[in-house]
Amino acid sequence: MTTETMEAPAIAVPTATPPHPVREFWGYFSANHGAVAGLVIIVAVILVALLADVIAPHDPNLTNTAIALKPPFWQEGGSISYPLGTDPIGRDILSRLIYGAQLSLLIGIVVVAISIAIGTVLGLVAGFFRGLTEIFIMRLMDIILTLPSLLLAIVIVAVLGPGLMNAMLAVALVILPHYVRLARAAVITETSKDYVTAARVSGAGTTRLMFREVLPNCTAPLIVQASLGISTAILDAAALGFLGLGAQPPSPEWGTMLADAREFVLRAWWVVTFPGLAILITVLAFNLLGDGLRDALDPKLKR
Amino acid sequence: MALVEIENLSVEFPTQGGIMRAVDGVSLKLEEGEVLGVVGESGSGKSVTMLALMGLIPFPGRVRADKLAFNGRDLLTISDKDRRKLTGKDVAMIFQEPTTSLNPSFTVGFQLTETLRLHEGMDRKAAERRAVELLGQVGIPSPESRLSAYPHQMSGGMNQRVMIAMAIACNPKLLIADEPTTALDVTIQAQILDLLISLQKERNMGLVMITHNMGVVADTAKRVMVMYAGQIMEERSADDLFASPQHPYTAALLAALPERSEGGRLATIPGVVPGLYDRPKGCLFSPRCAYATEHSRNVRPTLKPWAGGHIRCHYPLGDPNRDAEIQHDHPVGTEAAS
Amino acid sequence: MAAPPFSVLAMLRFILTRVSLIIPTFIGITLLAFFLIRLVPGDPIETLAGERGIDPARHEQLRKEYGFDKPIIVQYGIYLARVLQGDLGKSMITQEPVLNEFSSLFPATIELALCAIIFALVLGLPAGIIAAIRRNSIFDHGVMGISLAGYSMPIFWWGLILILLFSVQFDLTPVSGRIDVLYYIEPITGFLLIDTLLSDEPEAFWSAVNHLILPTIVLGTVPLAVIARMTRSAMLEVLGEDYIRTAKAKGLSRFRIVALHALRNALIPVVTVIGLQIGVLFTGAILTETIFSWPGVGKWLIDAIFRRDYPVLQGGALLLGVVVMSVNLLVDLAYGLINPRIRHTR
């Protein structure tokens, strides 16, 4: 808005320069302590997942009934070699949590990747072709949105059969509408802009237009939605695991660990506390990051 | 005793990039029944000055002044409670966007009677009767049936009439009109201005007309204050100002009026009002001024008495020694206009 | 241009439009239910009839009845006609009609869901409003932090932790069920809080309340977080509107501005969010009921999955979907009532 005076320093005598866009983004992002905390936690979880083989003290699936239900090291009867205690069949909880991080990140990323891939294609198609195609796609998405997400996921898994793969597919389907709507809305706003008209006039094909010209321009909201989507995916997959419909034992998936531990809630607090805490912290981190990204990328909220 | 006394008022807003000074050292006196025009481009601080008088500067804005008084009451030390007794009753304000300035969830009648019941202690019946009367006074046809209408059911012009009815409901001593016609159709603009002027005469109330449109001021105000980048640039009687503007900025504003254009091409002022990052060291208008010199670029002029008013300029247009002074101070030419 | 003033006719038209809009959604849900059960591995006739190992004669009869010899669209027509008559098949296990089982269990779920949403509203609305008024205060940051944690909460774990704390550690609340086994309460309304008061055992009411506390908190946590966040942001947006400045310029008290002028407008998006939370609530009910052995439709559905009771799964999911859809419709209508602008357009 002040470009006119900015480009002509002979006219205006600037006393300070406005910040560069990337620095401005980082300025807004880093001013949000929660978002930075989220980012730090996510990096930490990624590192733990990548280095699981190195840092896990035990094999996550090694059972030893002799040391079943050992409490964490600071409690009486606990030992430092099993820092967070052991589960009912003597597996080291810390090691299981560390390997569980691999699973949770994998679930989050794969689910969101599937959803984004299918969702943006459907959204782009709906936005570009309009008419009946659009009505059909958007109506379908509305129906998916109307149904409670976990209920839909549960029904799908119940029919397809329990298991991690099916749970991931179900969750991917459930979060699909967000990406379809986003991509469609972006296409509709973007196609009305001049650069798309220019590309059309110069003879660019529809497919090329969709992927080369429009898609790069709706990445910002997609990134935000992806971050929030990962948290939903991890949470819903864990819920399915908890209900016995997701990853199956002896998988160290956090939700599945909780399902195994449920009946011991009265006797051994640590077997239920730590897996859930891991879920909460990871999901919270992705939500914090998503919120921070949205605030930093959304120009409407900037003063 | 003047109705409004403002001395050295400044309003600041902290932002990400530093402190933004929206109003800078504004002083102003307004007598009872006087009509003052406040003119300037958007961002010149004209609205913020009046919002400060109303006590409506939003958080985290800071208001500072040597004196800020209304009708003899010191507004700097007044309690919130006493201030609320004053605002809406003795001093009222109408705004630029009539449709968004009315609450979409309540009927016109509710919003109008609310003021009457609060400040005049009327009961519902009496307030409704008075509301119908007021709507009639501001020229709304069949006022009884409008009481139950919602703002979105009426046109912008009608909504502005409702806003005016609300503002004059308690016979204020001062009415501040902040760009009251900017958002309206041209045909409606004249009607609203006429209404405001006739109400002002009838009730002998003070009227501050904030506008960016010199034409509006010419039609209404007795005295004019020209603001730029938060400062007063020139202030004098309307007749003098229109006959012989003393500040180059005022002259440029007048030259931009369609009826004053020469040679069929509308004059424009190059550049924009300085923002937070490009506030000049010297005269705030110097980057856009056709007569800027090395001196005016580096030294900020003060507001000094001049030709029956006040002016903030090193080289007033009516100064006989002006050309010599400009030559002496190394003119930087007119590259701004090129 | 002046729109016509409020009229019964406009209201009726508004309601009819909204009702007609849910028809495609209803068809979509029934289509989903119709196709899902056909994807179940095994013999579809046995699955549909809810009987196992049936003899060939009966098999043939059922085949005709379900229209398996006819095109798929006719089969769907037959299914839709049955659904509309309230015939959702019968449970493979109990041989009870699915609709009967659902309606006997649904009050327990509603009772829990209602308590949870009231809990969320009573805490969430004031928290959001105060956070907005005291923007950037410690209270504001606290509310936002806690609500983000609530929003990220795995509620199945949250339930276990609350049991661990309140039931195991302090022995304050029961671990499971709706009421102490000592009491037998004749179901009149199906809502235990009411039925116990109508019964001759008043202390049974306190037992019911005691059983409700933890499930209510667990189920209400996510809606509480969402409502607090939404109320805050809606309030912040409204407080920046021109008409709030007008209200201030009228000399209204701060309380009146916030509680009347701002809240009335801020509630519009909040009501929508509450409506959307109903869906989340039923999802949460599935988990909450599983944790607390709460005899509602959520637990019934999960049990049906593990018993491979597909008619119950199909009918139950369809009914829950219809309930959520209807609640969304009601919210939409309520939205029209509090927002005159919506009521008058279209």
- Could you tell me the residue range of the domain that residue C334 belongs to? 8-41+101-344
Among chain A residues, the shortest Cα distance to B297 is held by: A13
C-alpha A194/C-alpha A196 separation (Å) is 5
Chain A adjacent subunits, 3+ CB pairs under 8 A: B, C
Which of B151, B212, B206, B226 has its CA nearest to residue B179? B212
CB–CB of A5 and B335 under 8 A?
no
Q: Are residues C51 and C165 in the same domain?
A: no
Contact C321, C29 (CB under 8 A): yes
Instruction: Say which residue, B71 or C180, is predicted with more confidence.
Output: B71
Q: Mark yes or no for CB contact C156/A255 under 8 Å.
A: yes
pLDDT at C327 (0 to 100): 84
The answer as to whether C94 is a domain residue is: no
Does B118 score more than 60 pLDDT?
A: yes
Question: Residue B337: pLDDT above 60?
Answer: no
Domain ranges of chain B: 242-328
Instruction: Please tell me if residue B335 touches chain A, with a CB cutoff of 8 Å.
Output: yes
Top pLDDT among A130 and A10 is at A130
Least Cα separation, residue B257 to chain C (angstroms): 30
> Is the pLDDT score of A121 beyond 50?
yes
| Claim to verify: residue C172 and residue C296 sit in the same structural domain | yes
Q: Which residue has the higher pLDDT, B41 or A99?
A: A99
Cα–Cα distance between A214 and A202 in angstroms, integer?
15
Whether B120 contacts chain C with CB within 8 A: no
CATH number for position C188: 1.10.3720.10
Instruction: Assign B126 a pLDDT band (cuts: 50, 70, 90).
Output: very high
Instruction: Kindly state whether residue C93 falls inside one of the protein's structural domains.
Output: no
- pLDDT category at A114 given cuts 50, 70, 90 is very high
pLDDT, mean over chain A = 84
CB contact under 8 A, B153 and C248: no
Q: What is the token pair recorded at B119?
A: 């400040």
Which string of DSSP letters, residue by residue, matches C280-326? Answer: HHHHHHHHHHHHHT--SHHHHHHHHHHTT-HHHHHHHHHHHHHHHHH
Q: Which residues of A touch C321 (CB under 8 A)?
A: 146-147, 151
- What digits encode the pLDDT tens for the residues A193-246? 777 777 777 777 767 777 777 777 777 888 888 998 999 999 999 999 999 999
Q: Residue B111's pLDDT band (boundaries 50, 70, 90)?
A: very high
Q: Which two tokens stand for residue B189?
A: 């603009």
The alpha-carbon radius of gyration of chain A (Å, integer) is 24
The whole-number pLDDT of residue A3 equals 35
Nearest to C251 among B58, B88, B105 (CB): B88
CA distance A256 to B78: 64
Give the tens place of pLDDT for each residue, B47-88: 999 999 998 988 788 999 999 999 989 999 999 899 999 999
Contacts of B among chains (3+ CB pairs under 8 A):
A, C
Query: What confidence score (pLDDT) does residue C1 get?
Result: 39
Closest-CA residue to B287 (of B307, B272, B299, B309): B272
Give the residue with greater pLDDT, C40 vs C209: C209
Contacting residues of B for A4, CB less than 8 Å apart: 271-272
Q: Is A1–B275 a contact, with Cβ atoms under 8 angstroms apart? A: yes
Interchain contact, A27 vs B15, CB within 8 Å: no
CB contact under 8 A, C154 and A291: no
Which range, B199-213, C176-190, C269-283, has the best average confidence (pLDDT)?
A: B199-213
Residues C57 and C140 placed together within one structural domain of the fold: no
Closest CA to C99 of C82, C115, C122, C119: C82
The fraction of chain B above a pLDDT of 70, given in percent, is 97
**Nearest chain B Cα distance for residue C88, angstroms:** 44
From chain B, pick out residues whose CB is under 8 angstroms from the CB of C261: 103, 106
Q: How many CB pairs under 8 A join A and C?
A: 124
A232 against C204, higher pLDDT: A232
Number of domains in chain C: 2
The neighbour count for residue B14, using CB atoms within 10 Å, is: 12
Q: Which of B277, B280, B288 faces A16 most closely, judged by CB atoms?
A: B277
What integer pLDDT is reported at residue A17 of this predicted model?
A: 61
**C249, C338, C340: residue with CB nearest B87:** C249
Nearest to A284 among C24, C148, C317 (CB): C148
Which residue matches tokens 């799964």? C313
Query: Is the bond preceding A250 in cis, omega lying within 30 degrees of 0?
Result: yes
Question: Based on the domain organization, do C51 and C171 belong to the same domain?
Answer: no
Q: How distant is the Cα of C36 from the closest Cα of chain A, in angstroms? A: 7
Query: Nearest residue of B to residue A18 by CA position?
Result: B277
ipTM of predicted complex: 0.87
Structure tokens at C253: 């008290």
DSSP string of B159-223, one letter each residue: HHHHHHHHHHTT--SEEEEESTTTTS-HHHHHHHHHHHHHHHHHHT-EEEEEES-HHHHHHH-SE
Are C70 and C181 in the same domain? no
**pLDDT grade for A10, boundaries at 50, 70 and 90:** very low
Please name the member of C3, C248, C251 whose beta carbon is closest to the beta carbon of B119.
C251
Asked if the C-beta of A7 comes within 8 angstroms of chain B's C-beta atoms, the answer is: no
Domain identity same for C83 and C187: no
Q: What is the pLDDT of residue B176?
A: 95
pLDDT at C340 over 80: no
Least confident of A78-82, B13-17, B122-126: B13-17
Task: Find chain B residues with C-beta within 8 A of A7's C-beta.
Answer: none
Are the Cβ atoms of A27 and B274 closer than 8 angstroms? no
pLDDT bin (cut points 50, 70, 90) of residue A130 is: confident
Chain centroid, CA C282 distance in Å: 4
Give the whole-angstrom CA distance, residue C59 versus residue C70: 16
* Residue carrying the six token digits 């003070």: B206
> Which residue type does B75 have?
L
> Where a domain ends, among C60, C87, C114?
C87
Per-residue model confidence as pLDDT tens digits over B297-319: 888 999 999 888 899 999 999 88
Tell me the C-alpha to C-alpha distance, in Å, between residue A186 and each of A120, A126, A192, A201, A215.
10, 11, 10, 20, 8
Check if A231 contacts C (Cβ < 8 Å).
Answer: yes
> Looking at the structure, do residues C37 and C62 belong to the same domain, yes or no?
no
- Helix/strand/coil percent split, chain A, to 5: 75, 0, 25
Q: B105 vs C265: CB contact, 8 Å cut-off?
A: yes
Residues of chain B positioned with their CB less than 8 A from the CB of C341? 104, 150, 152
Which chain B residue is nearest to residue C262, measuring alpha carbons?
B103
Q: Tell me if chain C has a CB within 8 Å of the CB of A142.
A: yes
**Are both C335 and C278 inside the same structural domain?**
yes
The reply to whether C262 and C170 lie within a common domain is yes
Select the residue of B15, B17, B275 nearest A2 (Cβ to Cβ).
B275
Q: A276 — contact with chain C (CB < 8 Å)?
A: yes
CB-CB under 8 Å, A159 with C154: no
Q: Do B153 and C5 touch (CB under 8 A)?
A: yes
| CB–CB contact C145 A160 (8 Å) | no
What pLDDT does B175 receive?
Answer: 95
Residue B46 sits at the chain A interface (C-beta within 8 Å): no
Mean pLDDT of C127-153: 93
Residue-averaged pLDDT of chain B: 89
**pLDDT of res. A67:** 85
Cβ contact, residue pair A10, B335, below 8 Å: yes
Q: What are phi and psi of A110, to 5 degrees?
A: -65, -45
Residue C6 has pLDDT above 60, yes or no: no
Q: Which residue has the higher pLDDT, C227 or C326?
A: C227
% of residues, chain B, pLDDT over 90: 54
Predicted TM-score (pTM) of the model is 0.83
Q: CA-CA distances (angstroms) from residue C346 to A80, C8, C12, C340?
A: 69, 14, 11, 12
Partner-chain residue, chosen from B18, B278, B281, that has the shortest CB–CB distance to A2: B278
- What pLDDT, in 10s, does the model give residues B253-280? 888 887 776 666 777 888 888 877 778 8
pLDDT, residue A40, reads 96
Residue C60 burial by Cβ neighbours in a 10 Å radius (0-12, 13-18, 19+) = middle
Q: Please say whether the dihedral angle defined by the alpha carbons of residues B120, B122, B127 and B129, taken in this order, is positive or negative.
A: negative
Q: Does A132 touch chain B (CB under 8 A)?
A: no
Residues C51 and C27 occupy one common structural domain: no
- The pLDDT of residue B335 is 46
Q: Does A57 touch chain B (CB under 8 A)?
A: no
CB C275 within 8 A of CB C328: yes
Question: Which of A4-8, A123-127, C181-185, C328-332 is most confident?
Answer: A123-127
Between chains, do C154 and A283 touch, taking CB under 8 Å as contact?
yes
pLDDT higher than 80, residue A16: no
Which pLDDT value is given to residue A186?
A: 80
Distance CA A55, CA A143 (A): 45
Q: Is A84 helix (H, G, I), strand (E, B) or coil?
A: coil
Q: Specify the pLDDT at position B263.
A: 65
